[in-house]
Amino acid sequence: MSTSPDNNENTSQDQENKVGRREFIIRTGAAGALIAGSLIAGRKLWQPDHFLPGFQPEKGLQLPDFSLPASKILPSMAIAHGTDHEKVVRAALGAMGGIGRFVKKGDIVMIKPNVAFDRPPALAATTHPDALRAVAKLVMEAGAAKIIIADNPINSPTGCFLKSGLRQVASDLNLDLLYPETNSFSPLQLDGEILRNWTFFHEPFKKATKVIGLAPCKDHNLCHASDFALMMKPTLVILDGMNVLMKNGPTGGRLSDVKQMGTVVAGTDMVAVDSYGYTHLLERDLAELTYIHKAHDRGLGNKNWKEASYKEVQA
């Protein structure tokens, strides 16, 4: 059967778009950033056409700074080891001075998990429900007025939150789970090296007073790129390395790709946290992680995590 020139042109364009999207996601980690993650993936990223905005010249909003002043006494990063998820999370936060350092009574806390894909917890491709439960309980103990849970998954949002086990945690603890809707997005101004702006899942941040990033340590997850560190300054980042997806990320799919590491890293510098995760949990050479050197050079964080004030504890 013959094909018309128009059809050839459309097919070629479709293939070009697919390659562009794939390369963009791999190179910038748009699907798996530690904090920015799929929140910045655009209102249509989870839909079949996988629309990726971000290169237009239009101006957008800027998020407030959710970070806290650096402490002269307490560490900026903590590394905790153990076998019980909740105990290890509590140990990491305790080593940093406790959750009360970051969350005060009456705060509205946005906890941003990574739930880009409809994967069960055992595959370590999404934030583990035990990690979310542990962090949410600590935030509640600190007296938060409300806890918001939100992400903008690549796969169906309802399916991702259900299969990951995070919807059940939100239900059990009466957390506000927000799904992306058409009117939940706003253009975010970046002025980065690659992205000028991005259509951002803004709704969860409108009333938040504190932001905690909670991500699994996995292959292709430590890639929010130097531009993404410009998006926001979170209050705290937590990298869950209890079970690490060592390869075939970011989606995974095989239990044999998951390695038990029994570690949780918490910190106020996401570049330093990523640096530790890449070298000590994924067991790779930091020289290979281009974005982290760019972020370091731009003053967005310190890739040399040992230069930071840190504490290592056993749960």
Residue 195: the pLDDT is: 56
89 lies in some domain? yes
Backbone angles phi, psi at 241, to 5 degrees: -115, 30
Q: What are residue 59's phi and psi, to 5 degrees?
A: -85, 150
Residue 4 lies in a domain: no
Domain presence at residue 265: yes
Task: Give the strand order in the sheet containing 176-178.
Answer: 176-178, 146-150, 108-113, 210-218, 236-245, 258-267, 77-81, 310-314
* pLDDT score at 142: 98
CA atoms within 13 A on the CB side of 89: 25
What is the rounded CA–CA span in Å between residue 154 and residue 151? 10
What pLDDT was estimated at residue 290? 77
- For residue range 52-94, what is the model confidence (pLDDT) as tens digits? 444 445 566 778 889 999 999 999 999 999 999 999 999 999 9
Domain assignment of residue 201, yes or no? no
Amino acid at 70: A
Residue 280 contacts residue 310 (beta carbons within 8 Å): no
- What's the CA gap between 176 and 111, in Å, rounded? 10
- 141: part of which helix (H) or strand (E)? helix 129-141
Task: Return the structure tokens found at 155.
Answer: 């796969």
Structural domain boundaries, residue 118: 64-178+206-314
Residue 197 falls within a domain, yes or no? no
Sign of CA dihedral 203, 208, 214, 219: positive
With respect to residue 291, please indicate whether it lies within any of the assigned structural domains: yes
- Give the Cα separation of 163 and 189 in Å (integer): 33
221: nearest Cα among 311, 300, 284, 150: 284
- The rounded distance, in Å, linking the Cα atoms of 43 and 182 is 7
DSSP three-state, residue 113:
strand
In the chain, the amino acid numbered 173 is L
Residues in the chain, pLDDT under 70? 1-60, 190-198, 220-230
Instruction: Quote the pLDDT of residue 208.
Output: 96
Residue 289, phi then psi, degrees to nearest 5:
-95, 90
Q: What is the pLDDT of residue 196?
A: 60
| Within a domain: 149 | yes
Q: Kindly state whether residue 56 falls inside one of the protein's structural domains.
A: no
Tens of pLDDT, residues 176-213: 999 998 888 888 776 655 556 667 788 999 999 999 99
Biggest alpha carbon distance in the chain? 74
The number of distinct structural domains making up the chain is 1
pLDDT at position 58 is 56
Give the pairing type, strands 236-245 and 210-218.
parallel
Write down the pLDDT at residue 60.
66
